[in-house]
Amino acid sequence: MQSPLEITFRGIPHSDAVETRIREKAAKLEQFCHNITSCRVAVESEHHHQHQGNLYKVRIDINVPNKHIVISRDHHDKQAHEDIYVALRDAFSAATRQLEEYVRIQRGEVKNHKATIDEA
């Protein structure tokens, strides 16, 4: 990565354990795409709910040449995202898939679905 990883906590106190997990997962992203220029990760706690614990939202902004990739994982499955580590896992899994797609396109490995025209 050309720029240092930026990690932001909003609505929750800073956690060394969570920061370490984010750094590990961000380092793995570089295995899929070596030309990441910057990566910003924001972890946010949603408002407290009466019947549930904290719900976590993770946003990852990745810059690569000619593309800006944004992954935003809200609490789609409220039970799963009551755990901050599950929210991180889901967000970084989505980031990995998008980076893999970006790399395939850059290498020209994506199939072109051209419409065929029948000549009569």
Domain ranges (residues) in the chain: 6-82
- Give me the pLDDT at residue 106, please: 86
pLDDT, tens digit (0-9, with 9 covering 90-100), for 5-23: 999 999 899 999 999 999 9
pLDDT, tens digit (0-9, with 9 covering 90-100), for 24-50: 999 999 888 888 999 999 999 876 555
Q: What is the pTM of this model?
A: 0.80
- Give me the pLDDT at residue 82, please: 81
Instruction: Of 11, 9, 61, 71, give the one whose Cα is nearest residue 36.
Output: 61
pLDDT, tens digit (0-9, with 9 covering 90-100), for 61-101: 999 998 999 998 665 555 557 889 999 999 999 999 999 99
Which residues sit opposite 40 in a β-bridge? 6, 61
The side-by-side arrangement of strands in the sheet containing 56-64 is 6-10, 38-45, 56-64, 67-73
Rounded to whole angstroms, the Cα distance separating 81 from 30 reads: 25
Q: Which DSSP helix (H) or strand (E) runs through 61?
A: strand 56-64
- Give me the pLDDT at residue 110, please: 65
- The encoded tokens of residue 2 equal 């050309």
Is CATH 3.30.160.100 the classification given to domain 6-82? yes
